[in-house]
Chain A
């Protein structure tokens, strides 16, 4: 019984809600819905052989369209796969429910199977007329009216949709979070930094009704907002400071990254933000800034390995752009159609290469010249001079006088023919295709849109495009709540999960588009909701009814990202250098990591650590050598920037514990904060209280404080017995030391602070 429920709950998140409601789902529901209940089963177990991929289709039968499923069977015209209302005459039902393994579907050797509950659902669906519906994600979103709920809780529209599902499941929202924790949460979410003590004090003292809103506006206006937003976009754009592949030489794309920060801070509308990145070079009289934005499509890896076949890699880059376009903006797995028709989604291989054609006109080579001789940028590129930085591109943090070269997009004047590549092989040319996009999403009309990347952007941002707005609001939701309304934020196709709150997703998507694709407005809308402002405590009931917090009856607790942990340590200790942009920094890194794996060629063969201010810049500025990314990034689930990533994992591992316990920066932050506090005249207890406030961003409870004070005393005694250990401990880091005579107390305080940094709550958005 539990077993069956278990299987079922995986199917869709909505089913989870349903099965919690009824308490049991083995009894088949009254009304079966194709999109909610049937398609997930058919897609996962049947479409591989009876779906959109014409070449792999078995028995010439397709079950993904009603035409296919209701037609007479090709090899037995007297029979039909599905006869609406008549499961016993439907081959589909007979074949999935038979005990004869020679005709059973799915065939046993496929390693796929249907369980009794799934078979019963399909039976019921056929009984009820086997009604097909288009895939939810391909129907343009519409604003649904707000559900009727208890009006006392909602603060904005979001809450109506959230509360409706909660009420239906018999859950109530948590109380609002306390002000300190709410402030930490919203500050981390909007700026990636903990709130300053000044901000904390001001917010706590402000008893006015719009105190929170004022803080939200203030945070959105800080330049650190752009930095926080850029981190996710750098994952999406697979940004790195090296070319990737074998020799992995240096590249200079950081001016593009500076532009992203600038664009978020200037609150460029999403349509402009995207158009410039996809097609800035094709706009009339493009500005340098618009050209720079197109660096998005040059962030992919480029090989420098002598002896590669040029065309093989050129094709690889166009492939990367095509796949990135689909994943980043449409949340579709186009890459499946690189070698054959997509097995689940209506994307033919021809569609794939039609999309590919948009990106196939770049005057580029597969092999970036010899690493020893090559420039940092591969053509096409633009040169940005100091003069331009002074006058126009003021957001670029360029200090030296030599111009900087950045890779950008450009179309050749001649049209390179695009072929369908048979089985995806670069040298197996099939038919020639022109630009185009899958009809199932939105027909691409080249007379209306045009036939280049600008046309692609227009299609993408067209009001009838069902995906673009949904995909972006879902990802912003994911950034704040840890899990998207569609959990598979990179796959809105048939194999993706269904939205947990479809009407809310649609409402937000339409609202976002109708309000000028205004990103700051969207972020504000999300954090102003009562849903966002709840406390994150978990009751026994919540844990039992909704362990994954799909219904959001509490605020999620989420561990800080790789960059977030670093930024917390820097900001709370006072080490943070708030400079924005510029070349990436080589921060502390264990010795020999680059050296032990390099080919020995190029300037990145050896790691030359930076010093001074450069050690204390935010995490997004850490240098990313793609073949050997910073180890802390990998340990903390950061992207290795190999490909477009729209979602990071959140794991909990012993290596993370070791990193937080022993990484030099974490120790240095503890030392520097301890020194700062030692310079003040406050009591020991007050010092601990202050450190706690800075790191955990709330006042310490008496139990916590007495525990930490007792710990401080015992550590102090220990250090008194061996003062040389204290001296060694407080050596941590390169940051200049303060003159503090009482090294024993300093070491004990540093130890206490280090402990606070390792608290779960310190590194968790609570």
Chain B
């Protein structure tokens, strides 16, 4: 069934419903009548639209985006050869003319450098993890590592945009927006797509709201940024001096005024507006309740680490992500900045790891103990990898790494992925893929598949063509799916 048709059908249904509403039901009921199905698409209305395309493995996604490109070589892709060959030139047979960024293209030498940090194997699966991530090491049996992600971009902005929207350039909808569009929200009081930001202690590269843009989709699919300030969602707080009863009273008056207007004009959009005000009112209660972390029990606080009580930290965002997801938010997107170690890998990488390791692992354990991990897909990812050779000065105690698009590591947990496995393999130099590459488009296709969506069928016609998250490419990777 074409999406265009679905849209039309939706439109007809909504008009039809509103038409009926105006004819059949008393207008006094308007203020309290809730028809979220028509605006936020609940499960029941989805069935009539033919979505999802097949039984989903996961219902919700939490995407822990490590912004800036954490080095795969200091985290999960263990390459002892680099330590042995430290200081030696990267063989041309390995580099194979790969284009370089403007930051190292002027370097006369490309000396290999191994991880400063030690690696060990963990869990039944024996996954290699560096000493920087002792807590993630404890949950490796829930994780499916992808060692062979690769991308086309070599700079942050286009690479990030590609990871999140499926295109390096252009104003395309973000992954979360596509899922909001395809599946809607499970919770009528919360947006389907929420975004949480945190800053690290390493070299950072910034994020941009275009990364959670709705692109050409309706703005209702825009990612809603939750801030660390008292007002978690923009404009959520009632004005100073006004409380909930006052607001309720105001909305009742407003609804009566709008209803008078509706009687004159007969425009269903007026009623739709009344409903949006009602949903806004419910959000005002639902969001602060949900974002109040102070009532979390001690054992949870311990699990995520004390930082989780400091709003705006990665740890707090992990805990908040769990709560939002548990409440039915379809897609929770975290961005943690500071992973761009062109230099000072030895100084910065441990700080970045310290800020994220514990709470990342806690999120997985927490979801698991609540029985939610099976239906929640947790993704740990980034925009590209880092070079096996040193950028800048190589000393005994420090080094840096440039951007590397040819291979990098991401991992997923829960939600139908093959737990306790590693997919794909890079060469001994950690430079090229030798087995089972996963392109960004393949990754998107697989994630949509886990959510019960066929990436070729989740389309939107815009300016003459059918757009997809995967654009014109992408294959589901069966090896990642349990």
Among A1-60, those with CB < 8 Å from B are 6-7, 9-10
Roughly how many angstroms separate A725 CA and B246 CA in the complex, as a whole number? 11
Roughly how many angstroms separate A45 CA and B328 CA in the complex, as a whole number? 37
Q: In the complex, which residue of chain B has the Cβ closest to the Cβ of A710?
A: B253
Roughly how many angstroms separate A345 CA and B154 CA in the complex, as a whole number? 33
Query: Known contacts A596-B197, A704-B257, A704-B260: does B250 contact A637 (CB below 8 Å)?
Result: no
Among B428-467, those with CB < 8 Å from A are 456-457, 459, 461, 463-465
Annotate B230-249 by CB proximity to A: 1 below 8 A, 0 otherwise.
01011111111110001101
Among A701-726, those with CB < 8 Å from B are 701, 703-704, 707-708, 711, 714-715, 718, 724-726
Q: In the complex, which residue of chain A has the Cβ closest to the Cβ of B216?
A: A649
Known A327-B463, A640-B171, A652-B273; further 10 A-B contacts with Cβ < 8 A: A305-B157, A308-B102, A494-B464, A537-B264, A540-B266, A559-B269, A597-B206, A627-B209, A658-B235, A707-B253
Q: Among A67-75, A244-252, A506-514, A570-578, which stretch is in contact with chain B?
A: A244-252
Roughly how many angstroms separate A490 CA and B461 CA in the complex, as a whole number? 13
Annotate A309-341 by CB proximity to B: 1 below 8 A, 0 otherwise.
110000010000000000100000100100000
The one of B169, B228, B273, B459 in contact with A596, judged by C-beta atoms closer than 8 angstroms, is: B228
A495 touches B464 (CB 8 A): yes
The 7 closest A-B pairs by CB, nearest first: A495-B464, A728-B241, A729-B241, A599-B206, A627-B208, A307-B103, A657-B280
B256 touches A707 (CB 8 A): yes
B54 on interface, CB distance cutoff 8 Å: no
B453: min CB distance to chain A, Å: 13
Among B4-45, those with CB < 8 Å from A are 4-5, 8-9, 12, 15, 19, 23
A360 on interface, CB distance cutoff 8 Å: no
Q: Among A205-213, A413-421, A681-689, A747-755, which stretch is in contact with chain B?
A: A747-755
Query: Known contacts A245-B157, A643-B170, A729-B242: does B219 contact A654 (CB below 8 Å)?
Result: no
Roughly how many angstroms separate A732 CA and B238 CA in the complex, as a whole number? 12
Q: In the complex, which residue of chain B has the Cβ closest to the Cβ of A2?
A: B12
Query: Known contacts A6-B12, A10-B8, A490-B463: does B241 contact A657 (CB below 8 Å)?
Result: no
A590: min CB distance to chain B, Å: 5
The one of B197, B238, B270, B465 in contact with A760, judged by C-beta atoms closer than 8 angstroms, is: B270
A99: min CB distance to chain B, Å: 19
Q: In the complex, which residue of chain B has the Cβ closest to the Cβ of A657?
A: B280
A441: min CB distance to chain B, Å: 16
A628 touches B169 (CB 8 A): no
Roughly how many angstroms separate A755 CA and B155 CA in the complex, as a whole number? 48
A629 on interface, CB distance cutoff 8 Å: yes
A592 on interface, CB distance cutoff 8 Å: yes
Roughly how many angstroms separate A700 CA and B12 CA in the complex, as a whole number? 34
Instruction: Please name all residues of chain B whose beta carbon is closer than 8 Å to the beta carbon of A725 when the two chains form the complex.
Output: 241-242
Instruction: Please name all residues of chain A whose beta carbon is closer than 8 Å to the beta carbon of B465 when the two chains form the complex.
Output: 333, 336, 343-344, 495
The one of B213, B219, B229, B264 in contact with A635, judged by C-beta atoms closer than 8 angstroms, is: B219
Query: Known contacts A111-B456, A538-B265: does B464 contact A496 (CB below 8 Å)?
Result: yes
How many residues on the A side are at the interface (Cβ–Cβ under 8 A)? 104
A sample of 17 cross-chain residue pairs with beta-carbon separation below 8 angstroms, ordered by A number, consists of: A307-B155, A307-B402, A309-B102, A539-B266, A592-B228, A635-B222, A642-B210, A651-B218, A651-B220, A655-B222, A655-B235, A658-B235, A658-B236, A661-B235, A718-B246, A730-B241, A751-B242
The one of A655, A662, A759 in contact with B258, judged by C-beta atoms closer than 8 angstroms, is: A759
Query: Known contacts A343-B465, A707-B253, A755-B254: does B267 contact A538 (CB below 8 Å)?
Result: yes
Roughly how many angstroms separate A543 CA and B16 CA in the complex, as a whole number? 10
B365 on interface, CB distance cutoff 8 Å: no
B197 touches A308 (CB 8 A): no
Instruction: Please name all residues of chain A whose beta carbon is closer than 8 Å to the beta carbon of B23 when the two chains form the complex.
Output: 540
B241 touches A726 (CB 8 A): yes
Roughly how many angstroms separate A659 CA and B156 CA in the complex, as a whole number? 32
A7 touches B5 (CB 8 A): yes
B5 touches A599 (CB 8 A): no
Query: Known contacts A333-B463, A655-B280: does B207 contact A732 (CB below 8 Å)?
Result: no
Annotate A522-540 by CB proximity to B: 1 below 8 A, 0 otherwise.
0000000000000011111
Roughly how many angstroms separate A654 CA and B282 CA in the complex, as a whole number? 10
Instruction: Please name all residues of chain A whose beta carbon is closer than 8 Å to the beta carbon of B117 when the two chains form the complex.
Output: none
Roughly how many angstroms separate A659 CA and B284 CA in the complex, as a whole number? 12
B257 touches A333 (CB 8 A): no
Roughly how many angstroms separate A312 CA and B457 CA in the complex, as a whole number? 32
A290 on interface, CB distance cutoff 8 Å: no
Annotate B166-190 by CB proximity to A: 1 below 8 A, 0 otherwise.
0001110000000000000000000
Instruction: Please name all residues of chain A whose beta carbon is closer than 8 Å to the beta carbon of B250 when the two chains form the complex.
Output: 751, 754-755, 758
B99 on interface, CB distance cutoff 8 Å: yes
Instruction: Please name all residues of chain A whose beta carbon is closer than 8 Å to the beta carbon of B279 when the two chains form the complex.
Output: 654, 657
Roughly how many angstroms separate A295 CA and B169 CA in the complex, as a whole number? 22
B386 on interface, CB distance cutoff 8 Å: no
The one of B229, B238, B274, B280 in contact with A591, judged by C-beta atoms closer than 8 angstroms, is: B229
A-to-B contact residues, CB < 8 Å: 6-7, 9-10, 111-112, 245-248, 303, 305-310, 316, 327, 333, 336, 343-345, 367, 427, 488, 490-491, 493-496, 536-540, 543-544, 547, 557, 559, 590-593, 596-600, 627-629, 631, 634-635, 637, 640, 642-643, 649, 651-659, 661-663, 667, 701, 703-704, 707-708, 711, 714-715, 718, 724-732, 747, 751, 754-755, 758-761, 764, 766
A759 touches B272 (CB 8 A): no
Instruction: Please name all residues of chain A whose beta carbon is closer than 8 Å to the beta carbon of B235 when the two chains form the complex.
Output: 590, 655, 658-659, 661-663
Instruction: Please name all residues of chain B whose beta carbon is closer than 8 Å to the beta carbon of A246 when the two chains form the complex.
Output: 155-157, 205-206, 208
Roughly how many angstroms separate A667 CA and B250 CA in the complex, as a whole number? 14
B83 on interface, CB distance cutoff 8 Å: no
B4 touches A655 (CB 8 A): no
B143: min CB distance to chain A, Å: 28
Instruction: Please name all residues of chain A whose beta carbon is closer than 8 Å to the beta carbon of B171 when the two chains form the complex.
Output: 640, 642-643
A759 touches B219 (CB 8 A): no
B234 touches A590 (CB 8 A): yes
A658 touches B280 (CB 8 A): yes
Among B257-305, those with CB < 8 Å from A are 257-258, 260-261, 264-270, 272-274, 276-277, 279-280, 283-284
B210 touches A627 (CB 8 A): yes
Roughly how many angstroms separate A112 CA and B461 CA in the complex, as a whole number? 13
A424: min CB distance to chain B, Å: 10
Query: Known contacts A307-B102, A537-B265, A590-B234: does B280 contact A661 (CB below 8 Å)?
Result: yes
B147 on interface, CB distance cutoff 8 Å: no
B101 touches A653 (CB 8 A): no
Most buried by A among B154, B206, B269: B206
B110: min CB distance to chain A, Å: 15
B87 on interface, CB distance cutoff 8 Å: no
B464 touches A654 (CB 8 A): no
Most buried by A among B9, B227, B231, B265: B265
Instruction: Please name all residues of chain B whose beta carbon is closer than 8 Å to the beta carbon of A427 when the two chains form the complex.
Output: 99
B204 on interface, CB distance cutoff 8 Å: yes
B219 touches A711 (CB 8 A): no
A336 touches B464 (CB 8 A): yes
Instruction: Please name all residues of chain A whose beta carbon is closer than 8 Å to the beta carbon of B169 when the two chains form the complex.
Output: 316
B253 touches A711 (CB 8 A): yes
Q: In the complex, which residue of chain B has the Cβ closest to the Cβ of A589?
A: B234
